[in-house]
Every structure is written in structure tokens, then in C-alpha cells.
Amino acid sequence: MQRSLSWVPPGTDPDRPNAARIYDYFLGGSHNFPADREMARQAISLWPDLPMIMRSNRAFLRRAVQYLAGEGITRFLDLGSGIPTFGAVHEVAQEVRPDARVVYVDMDPVAVAHSRLLVRDDPLVEVVQADVRDPHGLLAQAPVAELLRPGEPVAVLLVAVLHFVPDEADPAGIVATLRDVLPPGSALALSHASLEGRPDQAGPHQELYARTRTPLTMRSRAQITAYFDGFELVEPGVVYLPEWRPETPDAVGPHPERMTGLAGVGRRP
Amino acid sequence: MSAAEPDRGASGHFEESWAGLLREGLGLTVQPGARQRLTARTAELLRRAWQGDPVSTVAAEEAGTLLVDAHYTDPSVLARAVELLHAHPVPKGRGPAVAGAFAAGWAAALRERTLRDQEEIRAATDTARQSAERSLRATEARFRALFENAPIGIGIGDLQGNILEVNRALLDIFGGRMEELRGRRVTDLVHPEDEPGTWLAYDELVRGERERFECTKPYYRKDGEVVWTHLTCSLIRDEELVPHYQVALLEDITDRYRLEERLRHQATHDTLTGLPNRAAFIDRLERLFRAPRADARFGICYLDLDGFKFVNDSLGHGAGDELLVAVARRLETAMTPLGHLVARLGGDEFVVLLERSRGQQDAVTVAKAALSALATPFPVADRRLSVRASVGVLERSVATTTPEAAVRAADLTLYRAKEAGRGRWTLFDPGHHAREVTRYAMSVRMPAALERGEFFVDYQPLCTLSDGSLAAVEALVRWRHPDFGVLSPDDFIATAEQTGMIMRLGRWVLEEACGQAAEWVRRFGTAAPQVNVNVSVHQARDARLAADIGRVLRSSGLDPRLLQLEITESAVLRSDDDSMPTLRSLADAGITLAVDDFGTGWSALGYLGELPVSGLKIAGSFLADTHRPEAAAQQSWRVIEGLVSLARALGVNVTAEGVETAADAERLRAMGCDWGQGWHFGRPARPGEITRRITQELRRMAGHEDTDYYSE
């Protein structure tokens, strides 16, 4: 009742910075509002490497999807997909496997509305609004259930998502819940902001994100690696973003740790 | 080599640099295949631009556009690209034109793209908001239905107290229409019977100092009736915790409330007269003691109708009830205007409570007013009944007493008023009261004390005056009271008689004394003393006494002739018919009787002939008087002499009590008195002490006389 005067549905208030739109700005997109840009600029002034880190993360996503599609996986569940401006999962996957199906999941209604706009002509793609913090609710959504139903391997993408899930919401439990419903041969691709690499930046950056609806929790390598419990990590394991299967050795760059994000891909036996 | 054509080496170098540019930064996120196609296509366009004549700005622009479309939107990409284009050796200054066209194409595309992105994100935001609002409206519709149809009254107001929304149930409770409530203020809904603190809690709520409060609250309905509700009022805050609204939930509890009220009234009021009852009176009285001012005083008038039993017995209970109701009305009419509470305690007992008093005079005035209110005869059962009453008046400072003590004191004062003669008021007397209270306290404790073994028996010697030998012992019951120390019979026997406890206590003393006497007989044979046991008026009149004694004698095995019962003269005199058969049957059984405190009755001595009496005990007060000044002493000795000779004439044993000196003992012996009792012969002592004394006497006799005594 306290909202009856000027209630704005969560995530649709342009005056409040939003993680999905900030990410878009970092990637050079214009799917954002002044409040998003303002916060993104503040973040960059604190940590000028941020746009590079975001691109590095996006590049990891691309390589991981490419790899998994190359491994024969045709079902992708992209959790926390955000605003799929470019290099979207279905584009990458369908490049390799034209029959690849993708279900995009995000809790942000704007990201969901935008994604639907973009993929409305692709029958193999679905967009679902759900909260990864409620994995059972998420799995109950019809497009997700349909993706898992035939028992074929499914790639779950948790790229730059779990650091928006605080410890109280039990991120490891969320991953385990998802893992337990995955058919054999399924995969998990995961990247996560880490406390390592640039520990000096961790504090201020987390404080900045505390202003959004999705505060940031950076985690250690051990914590991030533990999310792969029950999966077999593919080479090279959990590494800094640019180090994961680079296309050319020089693509890694001289200081991969500056990218701070850790990433990995695991397969269900 | 055409002038327009860059040399091959330079061209190869350019393509390599161009591909490098597109691999960096954002290029990482682009798929390698797509990127290679883009590299080839843009390089081709640029080459065409350089080669055209004139310069093909269209191709250069298209190259710029393609880069933006492929997400190369970073300005640093443009800077590097322009730099590369300039560095490429092309003929006749075509470089700047191509670079310019490329930059223009890139910028125009970026502008388009930015506008498109913005449009998309706005559209997406709108879509999202619309869909969220649609679901919100659905939710709101559900809540609205819930609000409207809730069986509990709900009202919403702002923090200024304006009523904004109310639901149907609330309208039903108030019996009004929406228009009549909306826009009114919460503070208009005050009711004189609101619980104290209700509006204080409300003020705290709207100031944001408390989250909610609950209370029972009455409201006026539109038709003027009062509706009682259980009210829960809560504060509603927004996401930033700023309070905005108040929500009231009201449950109509009128029926329940009225039932409770009725039950409460029944619990606190007398059904016959409608006056407050004892519980209500005690409650009001106790309230005075809760937080009194230092100098607060109060008064209680206990009032009891004289001879009410007579009304009931002669005119019937209907008339009795009629009278009680009329008395209640008279008292109420007289007292209520003065602000005093009138209550009926039960039966024909009423009480007036002065919650504030300035002194005894106030309470006395009330007592007088109460008596005069009853002075006019009552028309009851077609008669005019004159009724009188007694009033016990207590007026005290709150600080000096307790509710319980005050009630007890007022009650006892009423009894004194009755004893003193009826139709009058009596003022509480603290000195008298202390005695009453002690007696009361003792009587209450006595049964438990008997069971706990707090009573014990001492024995006082009665000696033969001729040789000073031990002839008998008088059993004297003592009470080792935990608060008062050891009490003598004078302290508690009267109380025991009043409460009826005397029968149990008397039986116990008999058992104890007979058991002890039998023990001495077993040990000393004929040298064992007779045991004297006092029997009170009540016991003597009780038909069970003979049976009790028979049982005690049987169980102890004591020869009845060794038991002497002492009865007071006054008891015998008053007992007339009631005790005579009992006393006779006791005498027939071989038990001897002695008249105790002989001489104090100052009445006809004729009864002595009628009674099976074998002993007289001259009251100790006579001997005590012989120690007073000369004239009185002479008078006393003459009385004692008369009593002794009377006893001798009747042929009964005579004992002088209160013998304190050898001279007295000698004088008594000389006048023919048989036995003496008093400090000269020994104070009351523990049985062991008596045992030692018997043993000593036996030794002395054995030493001074022959040992024939033992040969018996």
C-alpha cells in the first residue's frame, strides 16, 4: 500500500542505476540512462580497467559458448543474461550449431523486455523473467523445464552473475540445485568477480554497487572453484578471464590478473 | 604502378594493421569468423575509396558504418583507424579525404545506433513497466477485493489523522456511509470511555515513535449506539522507512464486551440488592493502598442489622429479603451523594467505605448517618418494621495498616458494638484490638500447633502440709509458640474454648498427663503422685468427655483413683443440668473431682452437696491478699479459715493454692488445711524434674525411717 502513490516497478525506474544497463554501457552500448552512465563513470574513475574487464568477460562468454557448441551442446540456459546487445549467446551458438536453442533468464524486467524485442523472430530462443536466487522457481518456468525435458546435455551459463548473489542467498546451494537437475554431459560455464588480482579495488567497488538493487560480492578463487563441485573442470580449469582458452597466445595480454574475474567451464560426467 | 594504387607492400602492411585494430578491445568479443569477414570487407571498401576517381567517399563512409554496426563503438577505435588511414601512403593527398569520409560514416552510424539503442531501451522500459503495472493492477484488484470483503473493519488514514479509505465491514460497524466517514478525522472518534493511554499511544504512532498499538475501544455509531471494538492501529512506512499512513483494524466485540461486563457486574455485585459485593469492596479498599499519599486516611463502617434472624424466622425469607433490599436503598441514598461506597458483605452485613477521610469524626459522622437512615420504620410484608443496627467504625491512616488488617479490625469492632448493646456505633480501639488480634492469631494457629507438637505439659507439686511430701501434681499445658515464646494456659485456654479447640486440646492433655502418671506408677508404685487435670467449662458440658476419659484411662492403664479432674467453680455453677450427668458418671467410675479457684464465685455453696466433689482448691488470690496491708490481710486469712472449715465440714480434701512461704504453709497446716500448692512447694516443672523429686523423697524416707515402705 505504501507504493500506491508513485510506485515504479522494480528495475523500470530510469533514475536508479541498474546492473544490466551499466554492463551495456561498459560494453559501449547506449541501452542505458543518465543514472546508469553516471554510476558507470564513477566506477571507471575508481577503476579505469573496468570496461576492459567487462569486455574480457564478454569475450570469455563467447569463447565458452563457442567451445561448448563445438562440443556438440545445442541447449543453453543463460542465467542473468542482461541486455544481449552483441555477441549474444544464441548468435554465437547458432554460428556453430544452427539448431542451438537458448533460454535467456533475467530478473530485470527491462532486460527481459529488451531481449524479447531482439529475439522475437527466432523460434529457438525464449526469454524468461526469473530470479536465480530462487532456483526451484526458475526451473519451474515452462521454457526452462522444456529445455531440460528431453534429457539432452544443457549448458548452464552463470557468467558474471553469482557475484550479485549475496552469501545469505546461498549461491553454492543455488548451483547445486541446478546441477542436480542437469542431464549427463551437461556443462556449467561460470565467471565471477574475484578478490584476487586487484584486492585494492574490491572494497570501493563493492560499496558502489551497494547502491544498486544488485549489490556485489567478490569471492576468493577457492570459493569460486567450489561452485564446480560435481562437475569436471575442462582445461585450463579456473583461471583469469583472458587465460581461458584464448584464440591466440598473445590475446591473453601481459597482465591477465588485471582482469580480476575468474572463469571456468565444467562438465557433468 | 598506378598513381592511385598503393604499392603492394604497403597494402599488405595496411591490411595487417587493420586486422590488428579490429582484434583489440571490443574486437575480442566479436567472433573470429565474423571479425575476419568484417576485416576483409572494410579493407576492401577503403581500397575502393582510395582507388576511385574522384575519391569514393561512399565506400569510406560505408566502412565506418560497418564498424559501428559490428559494435566497434569505442572512440579509440576511430582514433586508431584515422591514424592508420593517414599513415597509409596514397597518391595525391587522397588520404585525408578517405579518412574524413570514414570518420563521418562512423560518426553518423554511431549517432543512428545511439538513437536506436536509446529508443530500444526506452521501449523495453515502457514494456516492462506496463507489464509490471498490469500485474500490479491485478494484484491491487485482489487486494482491493480482500480489503472490501474482509470481515474485519479496515480504515486507512494519513498521519494528519484524515480518514482516506474505509472498507465495508468498517462502515457496518459504524452504521454509516462512506461519504460520512471519508474526510473525517480520526481524532473525531474519541469516546468518553476510551481506555486511558489510547490517545497517547495514537499520538506516538502518528509521530512515528511506535509501530502499532492495540486496545479495546468504544465508538459511537451513527445511530448513537455505542459499539465496542478491538482496535489494532499500525504505522505504514515506505521503502525508505518514512511513515506515510496509519491503518486501523477494527473488530466488533460489542457482544463479547457486554457479556464480559455482565459477568464482571455479576462477579462484583450482590444479586439481591444490586450493591457492590464483598469482592468489589475489597478491590476498592485495596486500590486505596496501591499508591497512597503519605497522609491519606480512610474509614470503614461495618454495619449489621440487629435481630435480623428474627425477621427471617417470623416473617419468612421473602420479607427478610425485602427488608435487606430496602436497607440497601436507604444506605445507598444516604451515602452515595457523599461519595461513599456502600457494599453488602453478605447476610445482613453492610459496609460503607470512606475512600478519603480527614479524621475519626468523618467516619463517626458516616456511622451516625447510616444509623439515622435506618431509623424510620420499614414497610415490609404489610407491616412497619423498626430496624436497628450496630456499626463498627474504623478510621485509620492508610500508611499504618493493610486492607486485610483493616477489614478484620472493623469486623471485630462491630462485634464489640454488638456486645456493648445494640443500636449503636463503636469506634475501633487499638489496645483492645491488639488483644483480640493476638487471640485471633493464636486460635488460627492452634490446630497446626497441636499437630506439630508445640504443646507440652508441666507438672506442679501439691504437697501434704503435715510433712511436706508430694501428694499430687497438677498438669499444666504450655504452648511453645514460635512467635510468642512459651505461653501459659491463661494465654490461650479462653481462646481454645471460644473456637472449640478446647476439646481436642483437652483430650491431648488428658492423654499426656495420664500416660505420664501411669509411667510414674510403673516406676514408683504407690509412691507415684495423683495427677490433677483441669477440665474447662466446655469440656464439662460436652457429653463426650466421659467417653474420652474412659478411653484415655484404658489406653494408659492408669488407676482412675489417681486421676483428679479440676473444674472451676464458675463452670460448675453455670453448668447446671448440662454437666451434672457427666460429672456423676465420672465420679461413679472412681475418678475424683476437685473444685478449682474455690471461693471466687461468691455464690450459694449449696451445689457442693449436690456434686460428687472430693476436693476443694482455695483460689490463690486469697493467699496473695494476705500479703497486702494489715487490714486486708486479716480479712483474707479469715476467709481462708472459713473455707477450710467448710471443706472439713463437707468432709472433702482442701488444698491452698499460691503458697509462697514456709510461714504460710505452717499457718495453713495449723488451721487444718490438707494440701498446699505454690512456689514454696515447687513451680510447674518438666516430668523429669518430678521424677527426680520422687526419687529423692524415696531416698530420704529410706534414710530416715525404716525400709518397710519398700517391703509393701
Q: What is the nearest CA distance from B238 to chain A, expressed in angstroms?
A: 5
Residue A146: CB atoms within 10 A of its CB come to 13
Confidence grade of residue B601 (pLDDT, cut at 50, 70, 90): low
Q: Say whether pLDDT at B589 is over 80.
A: yes
User: Are A55 and B28 within 8 A, CB to CB?
Assistant: yes
Give the pLDDT band of residue B710 (cuts 50, 70, 90): very low
- pLDDT, position B436: 66
Tens of pLDDT, residue by residue, chain A (269 residues): 333 333 455 667 778 888 888 888 888 888 888 988 998 888 888 778 888 888 889 899 999 999 999 999 999 999 998 887 777 899 899 989 999 999 999 988 888 988 888 888 899 999 999 999 999 999 999 999 999 998 999 999 999 999 989 998 999 999 999 999 999 999 999 999 887 766 666 666 677 666 666 677 889 999 999 999 999 999 999 999 999 998 877 777 777 777 678 999 999 98
Determine, yes or no, domain membership for A33. Answer: no
Mean pLDDT for B363-379 is 92
- Whether B252 and B227 have beta carbons less than 8 Å apart is answered as yes
Query: Residue B392: phi, psi to the nearest 5?
Result: -100, 125
Angle between helices B430-451 and B403-419 (to 10 degrees): 110
pLDDT at A61: 94
Who among B28, B125, B236 is closest to A1 (CB)? B236
Compare B387 and B676 and report the one with higher pLDDT: B676
CATH classification for the domain delimited by B269-428, as one of 3.50.50.60, 3.40.640.10, 3.30.70.270, 3.30.413.10: 3.30.70.270
Chain A's closest residue to B122, CA to CA, is A31
The CATH number linked to A237 is 3.40.50.150
Beta-sheet pairing, B349-354 with B563-568: unpaired
What residue spans of B458-614 are helical by DSSP H? 489-499, 501-524, 537-541, 544-556, 569-588, 607-610
CA distance B473 to B606: 28
pLDDT at residue B2, rounded to an integer: 42
Give residue B605's pLDDT: 60
- Residue A5: the pLDDT is 34
Three-class secondary structure of residue A77 per DSSP: strand
**What confidence score (pLDDT) does residue B4 get?**
42
Q: How many residues does chain B have?
A: 712
Contact between chains at B118 and A11 (C-beta distance less than 8 A) = no
Q: How many domains does chain A have?
A: 1
Whether the ω angle into residue A199 lies within 30 degrees of 0, i.e. cis, is: no
Confidence band, pLDDT 50/70/90 cuts, at residue B547 = confident
pLDDT reported for residue B103: 92
Cell of B226: 455505542
Q: What is the mean pLDDT of chain B?
A: 85
User: Does the pLDDT at position B95 exceed 50?
Assistant: yes
- Per CATH, which fold does B453-704 belong to? TIM Barrel (3.20.20)
Share of chain B above pLDDT 70, in %: 92
Q: Do A27 and B26 touch (CB under 8 A)?
A: yes
What pLDDT score does B708 carry?
A: 38
> How far away is chain B from the Cα of A140, in angstroms, using its nearest Cα?
19
| A233 lies in some domain | yes
Task: Please name the residues between 9 and 38 in chain A that touch chain B, using a CB distance below 8 Å.
Answer: 9-12, 14, 21, 27-33
**Portions of chain B given CATH number 3.20.20.450:** 453-704
Question: Which pLDDT value is given to residue A232?
Answer: 95
Interchain CB contact of B121 with A (< 8 Å) = yes
Query: What's residue A201's pLDDT?
Result: 66
Among B8-12, B507-511, B534-538, top mean pLDDT goes to B507-511
Those residues whose C-beta lies under 8 Å from the C-beta of residue B176, and which sit 6 or more positions away, are B221, B222
Of the candidates B29, B121, B123, the beta carbon closest to that of A59 is on: B29
Residue A2 near residue A56, CB atoms below 8 Å: no
- Top pLDDT among B221 and B676 is at B676
- pLDDT at residue A180, rounded to an integer: 94
The tens digit of pLDDT for each residue in B477-488 reads: 998 887 777 888
Q: Where in chain B is the domain with CATH 3.30.450.20?
A: 150-258
pLDDT of residue A118: 84
Nearest CA to B616 out of B666, B657, B577 is that of: B657
- Identify the burial level of B333 via C-beta atoms within 10 angstroms of its C-beta, where 0-12 means exposed, 13-18 middle and 19 or more buried: exposed
Q: pLDDT: is A186 or B191 the higher one?
A: A186
DSSP label at residue B7: P
The answer to whether position A226 is within a domain reads: yes
Confidence band (pLDDT; 50, 70, 90) for B262?
confident
Q: Considering the domain boundaries, does residue A23 fall inside one?
A: no
Given this model, what pLDDT does residue B489 score? 84
A22-26, A224-228, B372-376, B419-423: least confident range: B419-423
- For residue A26, tell me if it sits in a domain: no
Between the ranges A142-146, B171-175, B215-219, where is the mean pLDDT highest?
Answer: A142-146
Please give the residue range of the domain that contains residue A104. Answer: 50-198+212-267
- Provide the pLDDT confidence category of residue B3 given band limits of 50, 70 and 90: very low
The residues in A 59-118 lying below 8 A from B, measured between CB atoms, are 59, 62, 66, 83, 85-87, 91-92, 95, 109-114, 116-117
B150-258 folds as Beta-Lactamase (3.30.450)
Interface test with B, best of A108, A110, A240 (most B CBs within 10 A): A110
- Ranges A109-123, B8-22, B116-130: which has the least confidence: B8-22
Measure the CA dihedral B274/B277/B279/B285, to 10°: 110
Contacts of A110 in chain B (CB under 8 A): 121, 124-125, 128
Question: Which residues of chain B are within 8 Å of residue A84 when distances are taken between CB atoms?
Answer: none
Tell me whether 0.85 is exceeded by the ipTM: no
Return the pLDDT at A4. Answer: 35
Residue B181 banded pLDDT, cuts 50, 70, 90: confident
Q: What is the pLDDT of residue B623?
A: 86
User: Quick one: which of A221, A157, A167 has its CA closest to A189?
Assistant: A157
For residue A95, give the nearest of B33, B74, B129 by CB distance. B33
Asked if B242 is an interface residue toward chain A (Cβ–Cβ < 8 A), one would say no
